[in-house]
Chain A
């Protein structure tokens, strides 16, 4: 596994093979092979753009749902996770340490839609004992990308 390659792709998945090869000091063939292998090994699981949905009409809104569950005998948390992740409304599911068990990111067109989804679908799952819904109001930074425009170059122009 090539850690430097992964870091570069994590920064920008759309680098050309040529750029990647140059930046890593490897041949394009080598880089292509490494990427291919990491895809096969399930290390690289997909490629997606970082979208500022606020700038899109009919944008999505997202909510972070805290799920508390009582895991079923012998099955642990996996069964619940599998059930939750099958919903197309669910973007991410994480098992958490701390005050609750699952962090579920849900997207929908309106607050109402998301709230209904939580109360009708998530909270009715057998092992789920409670839910807490937190709507995301604004995204400042998403996957390392500044969506806010707060990071400006304030270096002066003089000869150093």
Chain B
């Protein structure tokens, strides 16, 4: 008999499986479940982008591209980063096209983190950072951001967690699941701390185009003195509703990028060619389509946030991404308990805040990548659930 225990990598074994698998397993076996669980746009990819993909296939553009990605795409990306975020990158040395933002995050971490290095990760946040750091042999230092600070990372929190071993700060804003954003002044405050240190910021800006109200996304790389110490990660999935195309990118100083590309070239070779051709079209001609989707998300956002508050589940105004993150503390339940009972009683699937870190306790994540009718029905059922809870007490 083979002893798998001896064979398996300990670090891999220690990676915890997704905490919400059980909810989805229950949900799959129930009839008429209405989910606000999916963190993926419901819009199809804009037609002209799909057409560009089809055209590239018809032309037979089905070979590998450069490891860095198509030169044409990187040139468009350089222009895009300049016009959207006032960031200047040399397209041939400082922009790498990746398989989704996820690959970029993993490579950026692996390129800098060694055994014993500390990586600061604000939570609640997307679930991939901690496993990626652990697999790279680093130590994740979790900062629990606070609701009273709108789940922003404060200068003080950063200072409190800095040690001589700190090598990386992960900056996941606009934030999944809290909807928090970091405005210019917030980033300036962090920059004051970081400017004279040998620390790299990995700024996950995948939701950069999804900010609401008057505030637009500001990249920390555009703050004075930060460009040289920042790796910006972004992608096409959320902005252009292109999740299945698996296309992202990382931008940063040449010294870092020429190392990162080595990981990419040996492990991946290049990002999908069809997707890259389609992405050129996305950057060139889809500002209107993106704005239209953003406006629609904004309408849904208002509907959902208002709905939660009206039901007595306090919900701050999420300024970015496409999630509401209401508090369920008034019910006296844990996030896990609330989600499980809501699912079995009313067939509504939400994600417990704790899936995104212990500091998510007392909150639930509701995605608004759904139609108005779908959101209204979910709210109606949550309302019924809360009424029944009151009757119990």
Q: Which residues of A contact B (CB under 8 A)?
A: 4, 8, 11-12, 15, 19, 22-25, 153, 155-160
Contacts and interface: CB of A to CB of B under 8 A. Distances in A.
B268 interface: no
B28 interface: yes
A157 B28 contact: yes
Given A157-B27, A158-B18, A159-B18, A8 B299 contact: yes
A59 B127 CA distance: 53
A88 to B, nearest CB: 33
B355 A153 contact: no
A71 B299 CA distance: 47
B386 to A, nearest CB: 19
Nearest to B306: A22
Given A12-B372, A22-B306, A153-B42, A159 B127 contact: yes
Interface string B127-139: 1000000000000
A157 B37 contact: yes
Give the dominant DSSP class at A's interface.
loop
Nearest to A23: B299
A155 B372 contact: no
B40 A11 contact: no
A155 B42 CA distance: 8
A11 B126 CA distance: 33
Contact of A160 (B40, B295, B300, B372): B40
Given A19-B303, A22-B302, A22-B306, A159 B42 contact: no
Nearest to A160: B39
7 contacts: A12-B372, A12-B373, A22-B306, A23-B300, A23-B302, A155-B42, A160-B40
Contacts of B127: 159
Given A11-B372, A19-B303, A22-B306, A155 B295 contact: no
Interface residues of B, number: 26
A4 B42 CA distance: 20
Interface in B332-391: 349, 351, 355, 372-373, 376
A66 B18 CA distance: 60
Contacts of B40: 155, 160
Contact of A158 (B24, B300, B376): B24
A153 B38 CA distance: 11
B112 interface: no
Given A155-B40, A158-B24, A160-B38, A23 B295 contact: no
A76 B306 CA distance: 53
A135 to B, nearest CB: 29
B51 to A, nearest CB: 19
- Return the 7 tightest CB-CB contacts between A and B, nearest first: A160-B39, A22-B306, A157-B24, A23-B299, A155-B38, A159-B18, A155-B40
Interface string B293-317: 0010001101100100000000000
A112 to B, nearest CB: 39
Contacts of A19: 303, 372, 376
